[in-house]
Structures are given as structure tokens and as C-alpha cells.
Structure 1
Amino acid sequence: MPRREGRVTPISAEPRTEEVPDLFESEKLALDRAREALADEQADSTATRQSLAELTQHFERLMRETRRLIGRSDRAEREMNALNLQLQTLAHELEHRATHDALTGVLNRGAVIDLAGRALRDGSAVMIVLDIDYFKRINDDFGHPAGDAVIQGIVTCLRSIVADAGIIGRVGGEEFTVLLPAHTLDEALSLAESMREAIANHVFAAPVDRGITASFGVSLSPGGTDFDTAYALADEALYCAKRAGRNRVEVAVQPSVATLRLA
């Protein structure tokens, strides 16, 4: 069977370009006519005035359009600035929610671990762990809303004592931590005792009609200690306080099971 010869269409090496319309073509023509009239020494006043009038008309139109575009640009800029402000506010809110406890406003467990880890990398720090005594009875007797109010009251007491000296976090339902970077053990024990007294003396709103206390465990960790080690030592001291009768402060003397009750 004979082979059919096909026609080959040559491909142009140069890309096809589409002509872009000149948005100012009419203005350009008016300007050219005005230039011609200006250059023509023989042009009469009528032709010159006509060219000038046409040029003025186009110039006025351009001014109106420019003002309109500037107005739109200003509005768009204001709207963009407002949106950026809203985005920044939303970003701050999301960051706060991601790092803070929704009920109390103190740091949540993840944020405490992160900040404590950084503080311990830079130097020594004291870890205080506290737990509300008999908290389950409060929920059982008065309900969870009353329990939430007690938790909020506990945080109020902690803030009144700690202020800017340390970092307060909620790491569990009724368990909190206070991190004190670059504090001595004596300073931390004094603060822990003040926190214990503030909670014991705090008057909680109705329907809670009883005194609320908390137990404390304290550990001093040198720089380079990881969070789990520092927390475990303080937590171990906390359980010693629970076993010794609650409403007291216990301190981990060294990285071991030995603890010593604060006199």
C-alpha cells in the first residue's frame, strides 16, 4: 500500500502576541492635535481653540477618573488595614486560647511545660505543685459550677501572692503549678507558705460554706534539668503533704525519694 504524504505545517518560532488596546488612545490623539496646532504657525485661532478645548475636555475627564481611582484606592487601603487589624486580633486570641486555660486564664499544661523547659535550660528554677484538698467532695456536694468557682478563687489567691515573680499554670482539674525561675529554695518556700495561707483564709462564695485548703510540693532543680524530672520531684513532695495530713507544704530536698516537711 503506497504511503500517503501528509502536509506538514511549519511551526513559527516566534510566539504570537496579541495587541493590547491603548486605554488613553483618545487622549493621545487630542494631545497630538494640540501639538500640531501649536507647531503650525499658520493655524487660525479657531483651530487652536478647538484643539485646546478638546485637550481640556480630556484632561478634565482624566482628573475626574484619577480622583475616583484615588478614592477607591484609599477606601481599599482603609479596608485592608481594618482586615489586617482584625487578623492580628484573631491571631492573638487564638494564641491565647492555645496557651491558656479557658476557665482561669492561667497557662495550660502545654504552655507550662514549654516555658518551664526553657527556664530550666537557662538556669535553676523552683517548681511548686499544689492540689486542692478534698476537691471531689466540693463537686459532689455543690455541683461542678461551684467547683469551677472554687478553682477560680484558688487562682485569685495564687495571683495575689505570686504576682510577677513566677508563672502560674493549671496542669489538671484541681492541680496547679507555680514556676519560679532563679529563686532560692527559701524564697520559694516562703511564697508557697503564703499561698497556702491565702487559700486557707479565702472566703469562697455561696453555696460553698466551708474552708478550702490546698497541699503543696516544692522542688529546686539546677539548670539543665528537664521538666519531667522537676515536676516529678515536686509532685512526690505533694503526695507527702497529702499523706501527712494536707494543708501543708513539703519540699523535695534532693533528686531522690527523700522529702522534708516544712516546719
Structure 2
Amino acid sequence: MDTCTVPPDLFEAEHRALLAAQATYDSCSAAAPDRCHQALGRLLTAYERLLRETRRLVRRSDRAELEMTQLNHQLQELTRQLEYRATHDSLTGIFNRAAIIDLVNRHFVNQDLALIVLDIDHFKRVNDSFGHPVGDRVIVGVVDCLQRVVPATASIGRVGGEEFTVLLPGLSAEAAEQVAQAVRQAIEVHAFDLPDGSGITASFGVSWFPAGGRFDDAYNLADEALYQAKRNGRNQVARALGPTVILAAT
């Protein structure tokens, strides 16, 4: 029997019992049954211990493997949570400013895209009159309107306190304008349940850029259109045509 593969530091006693039993077996005769019986007894005792120890080690190994698996799952979940928190707005769950900028720039590598920038009208009045918790509720309500109306391919980001950006890959400027109008109308009729019973509106700017553009260029055009909508009375959609801005009919 080859015993070289058994680690002597762990199974030294069993190794010695095996050698002794082998030597007894080789020298035993019918005239010495007691000697053989004793050797066999020692061998059985040694290997009963070995079996118990092996089972104990296997159980410990199984527990350690289970613990490692659980720790690995916890680490993966923690990593996922950290990645989510690094890229999402804590109040609304949509992309934060850095994440939406990165997403727009990555889409621009090989795609045309339209961009909507919207700003809640008179939002400072809401915070000043009713407090920030009510203001937070308004922001969440606006995001709810966005998520219900924009296409499934769209991505929404919060780029400021009350300002949002909607990425619309593959849409024309005209189609993006229609989306903005639909969101504007959804916000206008949404029940925000303000203490004074007033409603909430938002103003919108729309821009379009071909593949190879940059977030800053698309955003600046849309932002310029947004402020034209605000100057013209708010609760409107304005679309940038290159350096030119046109107001859409409400």
C-alpha cells in the first residue's frame, strides 16, 4: 500500500499503525492468532480515529466554503450598492449629474441623440413657502411624470436641484419636442398636493446633435432653449435649431 501521499504531520499515528499491522501480517502464522488480533485491533482503533477526524475536517471545510460563498455574495451586493450610489441620485433614484453626462458622451461615440433639459418653474417659492420636504416631494413627483411618459430607451438624470436632463438616443429633434410636450402636460395636471392647492409646471429646452458630439455642446443648446421658454412665460417647450431657438406651441 502506498502511504507516501498521506501527510505525515496530520496522519502520523495512522501511518504508524498501518506499518505495524503490515509487519504483523507478514510475520503472523496460525500459531500466533492473538498477536494478529491485537494488531488488527490497533489498526481499527487508529482508522476509527482517522475517520472521525476526516469527517470533522470535511464539516469544517464545508462550513468554511459556505461562509466564503456568503461573504462573496455580500461583497458583490456591497459593490453593486456602492456602484448604484455613485451613479444615482439619492432622492429620486435616477442618474446623478456625473452619470448622465458620462452616459450622453458614451452614446455620442456612435449615435445621434436628442437632449431635453427641464427646470421646475418657481421652485424656490415652493421651498420657501412650504419647506424642503414638500420641495422634495415635488421633485419626486416630477420624476414620476418623466418616468411614465418618456420612451423606454430614454435615460433621465438630475443635473441640479430642480433641473433634469433626458437622453433620447436615436430620436429626431421633432420627436424629442413631442416627448417634452407630453411631459410638460403630465406635470401640469399632476396632483402635487401642495398646501395652498396650487399646481406645478416646468419649462423645457430641446436640442439635437449628430454622433461625435459632446454633452456640453448639446446641453448648452438645450439650456439656452430652456431659458428662452422661461423668458417667454414658463410652462413651455423651446427647441434649439443650431444656434436658433424656436418656441413650440403649447
Aligning the two structures, in what range does the TM-score lie when normalised by the shorter sequence? over 0.9
Residue of structure 2 equivalent to 1:164: 152
Shift, 1:262, TM fit? 1.2
Matches within 5 A, 1:139-218: 139-207=127-195, 209-218=197-206
SS in 1 for 2:115: strand
Shift, 1:203, TM fit? 0.6
Matches within 5 A, 1:51-200: 51-200=39-188
The C-alpha deviation readout for 1:33-86, integer Å capped at 9, x for no partner, is: 111122125361111111111011000000000111111111111111111111
Pair member with larger Rg: 1
More deviation, 35-44/239-248:
35-44
Residues 157 and 22 of structure 1: CA distance in aligned 2, closer, same or farther (over 3 Å): closer
Counterpart among 6, 10, 21 of residue 23 in structure 1: 10
Shift, 1:25, TM fit? 2.5
In the alignment, is the contact (CA less than 8 A) between 1:142 and 1:208 conserved in 2?
A: no
Which structure 2 residue ranges, 5 or more long, are not aligned?
Answer: 1-6
Residue of structure 2 equivalent to 1:12: none
In the alignment, is the contact (CA less than 8 A) between 1:237 and 1:250 conserved in 2?
A: yes
Shift, 1:23, TM fit? 3.4
| Letter of the 2:247 counterpart | R
Residue of structure 2 equivalent to 1:36: 23
Shift, 1:21, TM fit? 7.2
Which structure 1 residue ranges, 5 or more long, are not aligned?
Answer: 1-19
In the superposition, the TM-score normalised over structure 2's length comes to: 0.93
The C-alpha deviation readout for 1:227-257, integer Å capped at 9, x for no partner, is: 1001000000001101111000000011x2x
Distance 1:48 1:153 in 2: 88
Q: Percent identity between the aligned chains? A: 54
Distance 1:151 1:27 in 2: 73
Distance 1:65 1:208 in 2: 76
CA RMSD of aligned residues (A): 1.4
In the superposition, the TM-score normalised over structure 1's length comes to: 0.89
Deviation above 6 Å: which 4+ runs of structure 1? none
